[in-house]
Amino acid sequence: MQGFQVCHSLGGGTGSGMGTLLISKIREEYPDRMMLTFSVFPSPKVSDTVVEPYNATLSVHQLVENADECMVLDNEALYDICFRTLKLATPTFGDLNHLISATMSGVTCCLRFPGQLNSDLRKLAVNLIPFPRLHFFMVGFAPLTSRGSQQYRNLTVPELTQQMWDSKNMMCAADPRHGRYLTASAMFRGKMSTKEVDEQMINVQNKNSSYFVEWIPNNVKSSVCDIPPKGLKMSSTFIGNSTSIQEMFRRVSEQFTAMFRRKAFLHWYTGEGMDEMEFTEAESNMNDLVAEYQQYQDATVDEEEYEDEEEEEA
């Protein structure tokens, strides 16, 4: 057994509370298995619940500690993809789930069809997570097609590459151009030459070198799985560990602080046996996470050499 895959939302009570409880119980029972989550974050503009910032902050607090890999999703970004890219006038949850399922299928295709690189969840984690707390990824998929029109698009590797790195293609409301990639993984499916895939990946890194941290050389891993998804000749799934994911946490954290300062809605939580201290801890954990992402976004090779020299002198 590889591990566990949990799909939950962080805005409501069940997905955030029950979801993270389930994750921590599984972690106790199976400490050495991988825990992969697909977590739907509260959207920037659309809010379903007033207490979303509380629920999301409390669950991120848990996910940082108990999950190994979190794929960050959000409904608004998915709606945007349906609306802008797929030209659907009235996207339904079915359409949104179709996008998520394409990504989930892509992430796990290497487990299900023994292929080449990144053949399991652990290898994926090893390649994507430079620091244990920074395991929140943005995901994308190409070719983006609506549910009915899959068979009409025939793509090439360069087209897939271009679409999967496109910021409009990310399934969460964070713009990768506002940060830098620590690492990324590209999983291609279908009949194609590995050489072409490697060339395209090197090409992306060379052209956009400012968007990749320079202190992790060769930080894009690519894998090819021979079996394409149903209805497509080839496809690609993108998983990026970008420092710009901090935008998601920042947004939630600001809303959290605004309400928590007034202790609004707290009685619903304390009445169920929670403690104000838990809120304070979750808030500071989230702020630490944002600070860590920012620190690695700003880090350069020279600084590190300089620090080493200072330590030697000391």
Per-domain residue ranges of the chain: 3-249, 250-313
Segment 32-85, tens digit of pLDDT: 999 999 999 998 777 888 999 999 999 999 999 999 999 999 988 999 999 988
DSSP string, 245-307: GHHHHHHHHHHHHHHHHTTTTHHHHHTTT--HHHHHHHHHHHHHHHHHHHHHHH--HHHHHHH
Residue with tokens 């007034």: 262
CB 254 within 8 A of CB 144: no
According to the model, what pLDDT value does residue 205 have? 92
48 conformational bin, left if phi > 0, alpha if psi -120 to 50, beta if neither: alpha
Report CA dihedral (84, 86, 87, 91) to the nearest 10 degrees: -90
Q: How far apart are CA 20 and CA 17, in angstroms?
A: 6
Residue 115 confidence class, pLDDT cut points 50, 70, 90: low
Q: How far apart are CA 194 and CA 104, in angstroms?
A: 22
The CATH number assigned to the domain with range 3-249 reads 3.40.50.1440
Strand partners for 225: 189
Query: Could you give the angle at the alpha carbon of 241 between the alpha carbons of 235 and 242, nearest 5°?
Result: 110
SS3 label, residue 11:
coil
pTM above 0.85, yes or no: yes
Query: Could you give the angle at the alpha carbon of 262 between the alpha carbons of 259 and 267, nearest 5°?
Result: 85
Residue 152 has pLDDT above 60, yes or no: no
Segment 174-226, tens digit of pLDDT: 999 999 999 999 999 998 888 999 999 999 999 999 999 999 998 998 888 88
The CATH number assigned to the domain with range 250-313 reads 1.10.287.600
- Phi, psi dihedral angles at 5 (to 5 degrees): -125, 120
SS3 label, residue 71:
strand
What is the CB neighbour count within 10 angstroms for residue 126? 11
Q: Which residues contact 126 (CB under 8 A, 6 or more apart)?
A: none
